[in-house]
Structure 1
Amino acid sequence: MKISEQWINQWVDLKQDIDTTVSQLTMLGLEVDDVTPAGGEFSGVVVSEIIDCKPHPNADKLQICSVNAGDKQLQIVCGAPNARSGIRVPLARVGAILPGDFKIKKSKLRGEESAGMLCSEVELGLSEEGSGLMELPADAPVGKSMRDYLQLDDHIIDIDLTPNRADCFCVRGVARELATLNNLEYFEPAIETVPATTKDTVTIKIKSPQACARYSGRVLTGLNNQAQSPLWLKEALRKSGIRSIHPVVDVTNYVMLELGQPMHAFDRDKVAGGIVVRMAKDKETLMLLDGNEAVLDDSFLVIADEHNALAVAGVMGGLDSGVQPQTQDIILESAYFDAAQIMGKSRRLGTHTDSSLRFERGVDWQLQEQAMERATGLILEICGGQAGPITTVSDESHIPEQQTIHLEASHLKRVLGFEVPFERVTEIFEHLGFQVDRHQSGWSIKTPSWRFDLSIAEDLIEEVVRVVGYDQMPADLMHSDDVIHIAPEQQVVPMTIKKHLVAMGFQEVINYAFVAEKQLSNSYLDAQAYALANPLNKELAVMRTHLLPGILSNVQANRAHGELDLAMFEMGKVFNQVDNQELQQEDVLILALCGQVQPEQWGNTSRQVDFFDLKGHVDSLLTQVPGEINYQVSKLDFLHPGRQSEIFIENECIGHMGQVHPSITHSLKIKTPIYVAQLNWEHIKQRRLPLWQADTKFPSTRRDLSLQLPDSLDWRTVKQGIEQTISAESDVLRQLLLFDVYKGEHIEKGYKSFAIALIFQANNRTLEDKEVDKLVEKGVSFLEQNLNAVIRT
């Protein structure tokens, strides 16, 4: 928001330089982005009046003007198309210096002397465009310095406001803050009630009170459509970065900048019946003031008449119903809209307006009629005419309530770490417009209608410290009674996993949590996708349900730049909406491999990464995770149907792995296979603590078995069955290994052969063969009776 220093000084007499004001605004939390002069750097330019114009004898497009400069009459050669007798314009006299260090000298133009230059707004640095001389009001004092006349010894302050400080989107709010900081009196302009001189009224119907709880309207008739905005109004708008359009529009913009209440005016003749505030119809269209057609849906609030929409509430008015040069009768509106209803609507329409900027952050709900009176008085002053009574319709059940917050003096001191005098705290709250009820131990504060951001005692503490000044806080050593909790030893932090993966040759990537809907659908991952209501763009419109789309984009980008052998990982959140219920999120880790296992060289045969290379990396991550790890065949659509599996700890699935489905890589024009594994972080961050055990002094005994088993049996079933059977008899089974799997000659069709080793060892004795043989027989018996196994000799 841009605001001029002089305008602020009309509200509070600061009597300080601009650097101090800027510093104070920043310390108050109103960060200043830039400070610029109100006009170009020029001198020697005065108000003048053209007395007479005659054609230049030697040039078709030039005129010789007789100009009254105040103290004498000068001859000026001018080529501006609007140069004519009787108008008052800026004159740069001989010796004047214009922006760009351009010095005016006495010269001859096509043989005729010219003692100066008549100036346009562009030449004075007051505008970036213009086609003729800057025309001044007829009562502009001839001979007066243009800098003094336009009050250009001023500065324009560009403030970057945070979303919570909607109250400072106006001169009133900024001046209130500075008056509080400097403990100065605060002068609000007197806003007088404009009596109704006609009985013309507008009927108002609010059909969506939850979105518009208060709407005020007033009919103004008989306006002079030849009236022009006065120079002071144009200058106030120019310094705030707003172009002068029409006296009525200029006044509504001025009141918005002054008080913070956006307003709009309709051409009364273009409104059929009364005003209806309602939700838009699906696919309802409206041609906006900027010339773009808005296609609306039922999430938009509109201001309409009995037949058609007239404006998108809080964003922009319609072109057909707006004030035109011939307009004489208007309907002036001032409303309170729910901020949540307006939020994001201007972005969806591809536009940005000062009104939407204020409405979507929140407007004072008690300001509507006051702003109406202010605007009415200014319009009648400039354009004449008559005003009807103000019609206001409200639904008090949807009007916000002022909150009462209690703050204890002891709480204030404890949080700040130093004591602020009780009376000074009271002064701060009263200066800020709060209703203060003092009691022995603190304050009860009733928040004003323009402060939406205050709800708890800490909010009030922040108000105190930013006014007192963060730089005024005494230096003191920090102390705290808080206990620092140490993470359990068996819990691994993400950085440990990242270092492990980097040591294994992986590189970390970081992607947005938002993806394009097409990315998810192309990977068959869109079933539980959650679409954003107000995405930044269509490429970031959906919350990711899996880390696969992002890492595939990384692979695609790297391969496009010649990086073919890739090992990447990412840690992040995924979001799934199950059965249209609350959005669920979880932290996951994804690994991705593609290309050659090792860099190309003469000593090794080149080989592409495969499923088992990825499995080796997953196994290394899960080595210390408590519980038995096993892999089971899965049927995930985004993975190759024959090269995928789910990963289990005991009986709980913690992730999946496999080759990305060829149809997905083909659509990305990636010819090499890509292998990925995604693991749930909550399940892999736990570690089994190592326990020390003394080495046994007694030897181990090994028995090898060759088993013929049905092809459908997996190693996990066999292993668990043998371990449970032998462990029920004794605790001397130390290890069970599968060292060969065979299918082919001498093995029946539908069967396979497992070669296993059983290793036995006791801590307190040497095992005898008969004890080991007995345990082996128990295991074999289980295999034969329960798993249809046959011992091969």
Structure 2
Amino acid sequence: MKFPGNWLRKLVDYQCSDEELAHKLTMAGLEVESVVPVAPFFDKVVIAEVMSVQKHANADRLRVCKVDVGNYSDEPLQIVCGAQNVTEGMKTVCALIGARLPELNIRQGKIRGVESFGMLCSARELGLVSEADGLIELPDDAPAGISFREYDGLDDSIFTLKLTPNRADCLGMFGIAREVAAITAGKLNLPEIKPVNPEIADVLRIRVEEPQSCPLYCGRIVKGIITSTQTPLWMNQYLVRAGLRLINPVVDIINYVMLETGQPMHAFDLAKIEKGAEQEIRVRYAVANERLRLLNGECLDLQEDLLVIADSSKPLALAGIMGGSESEVEGGTTDIFIESAFFSPAAISGKSFKLGFSSDSSHRFERGVDFSMTRNALERATALVLDICGGKIGPVVEVSNDLPRRDAVEVRQKRIAKILGVDFGIELISEYFRRLQFGHSVSGDTFYVVPPASRFDLVIEEDFIEELARMHGYDLIPAQLPKASAHMLTEPEIGIAPVKRLRQILVARDYQEVINYTFVDTQWEADLCGNNLPVKLKNPIASHMDVMRSSLFGGLINNLQFNLNRKQSRVRIFEIGSCFSKDNDEEKEVENLAVLCSGNVHPEQWGVTDRDVDFYDVKMDVESLFWPRNIDFESAVHPALHPGKSARILIDKSPIGWIGELHPRWQRKYHLSQSAILFELQIEALASDLLPMMQVLSKFPPVRRDIAVVVENEVSMAKLLEAMNSEKDKSVSEISLFDLYSGENLEQGKKSLAFRILLQGTEKNLTDQEIDQAVNGLINVLGRKFGATLRG
């Protein structure tokens, strides 16, 4: 929003400089992006009348002019001029001898042998524009001899506000003036808008078919206007300095009132509105196959969600956005229909973005326009049209429906003090609300505040508290440190282990963390997870990222492929992230940890023989994450893993993840030059800590006994260890496998497992009898449960 400072000073009295006002506005939440002067400095430049123009004797392109500069000279000045538009009798601008212009100083001199006592100026020479074709041409009534700065109001500044979307009330000068009056406690001098009495009975029927989208529509006919008149200089200045271009008096007036009140309006050429059985204006939504050529020259095929202003046969304008070229006011227009309406923000919002262009009207309507000003703006525009263009007006036709409610909001003094940390007091709060022109009443320490029709952003109690903070000044609200007691928090011995600790363990074991997209390719889910019903995205960012992952394997394999393609053969990576799945049409999210290991076990060096990582290397990494808890591994098949080199990971007999070597089929499909070992675990299972248990350290030496048992090939080592640990004597401190044998000297389908058994007493040395009893107990357990026999 751009506006000249002099316009604002006419609407509100404030006693501060432009720079001080800009600071006050910015600190109150209305950011002032810039304050720039209307014109650069120049002096001794006056309005002049060209009395005569003669050809220069020594130059074809130069003219010798006699110029009347009023009281600055008793006789007309002789000035040599090269502008092609200089004519006898024109009013223009003259820089006198001694004048200082932005790029030069004026001295008396000779041009091609003819003396010149000044310079007739273009707008470029005064620094008003970057390019100009000729001299400045002023109206015939411009008085010769007065300062051009004073005449054109050039001792002024242009403010540019960077408004947030919630402050639509400041898209008009009335709203800005109210804001400045509230901030500076200045006196508000808004012009009084009086209804204009109709002189003719002509009316145009208005039919609002969409009352929810257009709750209020006003219009009136004006006949016999003269569009060839000149827009007043003061209005031209305001429009140009606000960034609008001049078109014709009627359109200029409509634009001026919009800048003044914040209410967009539109004027139709009455002769171009279809008469039919009865001439009328309809507010409706567009129908299929309708077309409309707009004022910007664009021809639209209207969609059915676009609100239009139409006559009995065709659309005339896009409601709240832009008028149509077929009904625009032109030079020969004599009769017009002026509309002023309130369109619901919901009906206008987003339409400009969809159409690919914006307008001053849509910018205001989609944020919310003051519906209490709708009719007043029409009266204001009508009065200006009569003053400038003449004509006779008809009565106002108004169609009103359910306008937005402005219910009182309860604002509590205690709540204000709690949020802002300052107790303003009842009187000061009332004063701030009065300056903001908020209607309010007080009951005890509670205010009941009615938001004005111009403030769509005031809905809840906190909105009004923010207004009080703005009025008081954010910089005047003291910064106070919060008061709170500091107590040491107890940390339970058993609870949830932080994910940070899992990262530390894996980094210490030479892994690097990666982060991948949760969006993956549908084919990954089918190949690596056997998931044919993944969670699909409604609006994927890419065609190959159209579903949510149910496993972290796909991203890690993609990372491996990326590294191998760049000659990085040793890859050890992990990821912690969310995975998504469907269970009876219910979408679920879980957090998993996954690891991929490929290439050499150790970085290449002379002291260690190269060896590719295998299943058991990575199995050791899995166990390190759970230590000191025990976990089990059970042979099972996973879609992503080698069927003979994969296992399900169990804890307390509940499955919590998978481990195994990548299936050769996927290694070929995804063009991997080497295989990899992967595992994936549920974070929830990993995050549980065990309560540490105290044990007495024995002072006595341990005793080792080895046993070798023969069992069926189908019997797993894990089941044997589980059985022995569940029924072992208290003197047995550790049981571990140290040898596996199958082959000669054993029956077909049999294998031999050798276990190391450590025994240790806590109170005394164990006797041979006690040791033999403990070991025989373990042998009996294996024989009873698995038919195991000692290997002879």
**By the TM > 0.5 criterion, same fold?**
yes
| 1:724-772 per-position Cα deviation (integer Å, ceiling 9, x unaligned) | 87787679899998999999999999x9999797979899886722321
In the TM superposition, 1:205-216 aligns within 5 A as 205-216=207-218
Specify the alignment match of 1:405 in structure 2.
Answer: 409
CA deviations on 1:412-434 (whole Å, 9 max, x unpaired) are 33333332232221011122121
TM-score calculated relative to the size of structure 2? 0.76
Deviation at 1:85, TM superposition (A): 3.1
Q: How far apart in 2 are the matches of 1:301 and 1:661?
A: 62
SS at match of 1:96: coil
Distance 1:245-1:694 versus aligned 2 partners, 3 A rule: farther
When residues 611 and 776 of structure 1 are mapped into structure 2, their CA distance, relative to the original with a 3 A threshold, is closer
Superimposed CA distance per residue, residues 510-531 of structure 1 (whole angstroms, 9 cap, x where no aligned partner): 98x9x9xxx9789889962244
The whole-number CA distance in structure 1 between the counterparts of 2:87 and 2:3 is 35
Identity percentage over the alignment? 35
Q: Alpha-carbon deviation of 1:94?
A: 2.9
Matches within 5 A, 1:556-595: none
TM alignment of 1:203-602, pairs within 5 A: 203-272=205-274, 274-281=280-287, 286-294=292-300, 297-396=303-402, 399-474=403-478, 476=480, 478-480=482-484, 490-491=495-496, 504=510, 506=512, 528-531=536-539, 545=548
Q: Given the superposition, is the C-alpha separation of residues 438 and 777 from structure 1 closer, same or farther in structure 2, using an over 3 Å criterion?
A: same
Deviation at 1:137, TM superposition (A): 2.6
Partner Cα distance (1:126, 1:562) in 2? 64
Q: Tell me what 1:17 maps to.
A: 17
Q: In the alignment, which residue of structure 2 is the partner of 1:45?
A: 45
Query: Quick one: structure 1 residues 734 and 82, their matched pair in 2 at CA, closer, same or farther if it must change by over 3 Å?
Result: farther
Residue identity matched to 2:433? F
CA separation of 1:452/1:768 partners in 2, compared to 1, >3 Å: closer, same or farther?
Answer: same
How far 1:553 moved relative to its partner? 11
Q: Which amino acid aligns with 1:263?
A: M
What amino acid sits opposite 1:8 in the alignment? L
Deviations 1:343-394 (A, max 9, x none): 3332233323333332232222322212222222223322223333333333
* 2:176 alignment partner, SS class: helix
Question: How well do the aligned residues superpose, as a CA RMSD in angstroms?
Answer: 5.5
Provide the rounded CA distance (Å) in 2 between the counterparts of 1:13 and 1:6: 11
Which residue does 1:147 correspond to in 2?
A: 149
Task: Please tell me the residue identity of whatever aligns with 1:175.
Answer: A
After TM superposition, give the deviation of residue 293 of structure 1 in Å.
4.6
Q: Deviations over 1:11-65 (max 9, x none)?
A: 2110211222122112211122222112223222222223333444555544443
Query: How many Å apart are 1:569 and its aligned residue?
Result: 7.9
Question: In structure 1, the residue corresponding to 2:96 is in which secondary structure?
Answer: strand
3-state SS of the aligned residue for 1:445?
strand
Determine whether 1:84 maps to 2:87: yes
663 and 627 in structure 1: CA distance in 2 versus 1, 3 angstrom threshold: closer
Q: Distance in 2 between the 1:761 and 1:597 partners?
A: 34
Contact preservation (8 Å) 1:509, 1:568? no
Which secondary structure state, in structure 1, belongs to the residue aligned with residue 442 of structure 2?
Answer: strand
- Residue 104 of structure 1 aligns with which residue? 106
Deviation at 1:467, TM superposition (A): 0.9
1:26 matched to 2:29? The reply is no
Distance change in 2, residues 1:692/1:15 (3 Å): same
Give the whole-Å Cα distance in 1 for the aligned partners of 2:367 and 2:136: 38
Q: Is the 8 A contact 1:48 1:67 kept in 2?
A: yes
65-74 vs 182-191, which moves further: 65-74
Task: Say which SS state the counterpart of residue 52 (structure 2) adopts.
Answer: strand
Instruction: Give me the whole-angstrom Cα distance separating, in 1, the residues matched to 2:303 and 2:669.
Output: 38
Confirm whether residue 198 of structure 1 aligns to residue 200 of structure 2. yes
User: Does structure 2 retain, via aligned residues, the 8 Å contact 1:625–1:686?
Assistant: no
Measured in 2, the distance between the counterparts of 1:674 and 1:458 equals 60
Larger Rg: 2
Structure 1 segment 619-698 matched on structure 2, within 5 A: 683=684, 686-689=687-690, 691-694=692-695, 697=698
Q: CA deviation at 1:69?
A: 2.0
Paired amino acid for 1:692: M
1:47–1:143 contact (8 Å) kept in structure 2: yes
The aligned counterpart of 2:528 is none
Give unpaired runs (5+ residues) of structure 2: 526-532, 763-769
SS of the equivalent of 2:98 reads strand
Please say if residues 69 and 142 of structure 1, whose CA atoms lie closer than 8 Å, have aligned partners that are also in contact: yes
Q: What SS does the aligned partner of 1:174 have? A: helix
Distance in 2, Cα, partners of 1:743 & 1:302: 89
Whole-angstrom distance in 1 between the partners of 2:291 and 2:678: 49
Q: What is the rounded CA distance, in whole Å, between the counterparts of 1:674 and 1:265 in structure 2?
A: 75
Counterpart in the other structure of 1:120: 122
The more displaced of 584-593 and 79-88 is 584-593
After TM superposition, the structure 1 stretch with the greater mean CA deviation from structure 2, 240-249 or 21-30, is 240-249
TM-score when normalising by structure 1 = 0.76
Give secondary structure in 2 for the equivalent of 1:693.
Answer: coil
Residues 440 and 776 from structure 1, CA distance in 2 versus in 1: closer, same or farther, beyond 3 angstroms?
A: same
Q: Is the 8 A contact 1:659 1:673 kept in 2?
A: no
**CA–CA separation in structure 1 for the residues paired with 2:695 and 2:15:** 84
Query: What secondary structure is seen at the aligned counterpart in 1 of 2:215?
Result: strand
Distance 1:413 1:227 in 2: 58
Aligned pair count reads 761
Q: Is the 8 A contact 1:611 1:659 kept in 2?
A: no
Give, in angstroms, the shift of residue 256 of structure 1: 2.5
- Give deviations 1:217-253, integer Å, cap 9, x for gaps: 3333333221332221222122222232333333333
Q: Deviations over 1:323-351 (max 9, x none)?
A: 44444433333332333443333223332
Partner SS state of residue 224, structure 1? coil
Per-residue CA shift, 1:660-714, capped at 9, x if unaligned? Answer: 99999999xx99899999989974783425523326647687767787768xx9x
| Letter paired with 1:204 | I
Alpha-carbon distance between aligned partners in 2 of 1:362 and 1:676, rounded to the nearest angstrom: 61
Q: 2:136 aligns with which of 134, 137, 152?
A: 134
Distance in 2 separating the partners of 1:197 and 1:608: 100
On the 8 A contact 1:530/1:576 being kept in 2, the answer is: no
Greater shift, 88-97 or 262-271, is seen at 262-271
* Equivalent-residue separation in structure 2 for 1:329 and 1:318 (angstroms): 17
1:550/1:403 Cα in 2 relative to 1: closer, same or farther (>3 Å)?
A: farther
Give distance in 1, aligned partners of 2:682 and 2:386: 68
Q: Does 1:74 align with 2:74?
A: no
CA distance in 2, matches of 1:660, 1:370: 78
Conserved in 2, the CA contact under 8 Å of 1:707 and 1:791?
A: no
Deviation per CA, 1:43-102: give whole Å up to 9, x if none.
Answer: 222222233334445555444433322234233344444333333222222332233x43
Is contact 2:637-2:643 (8 Å) kept?
no
Q: Distance in 2 between matches of 1:486 and 1:333?
A: 71
Going from structure 1 to structure 2, the CA distance change for 1:527 and 1:416 (only over 3 Å counts) comes to closer
Is the partner of 1:97 in helix, strand or coil? coil
Name 1:159's counterpart in structure 2: 161
Q: Distance in 2 between matches of 1:267 and 1:480?
A: 70
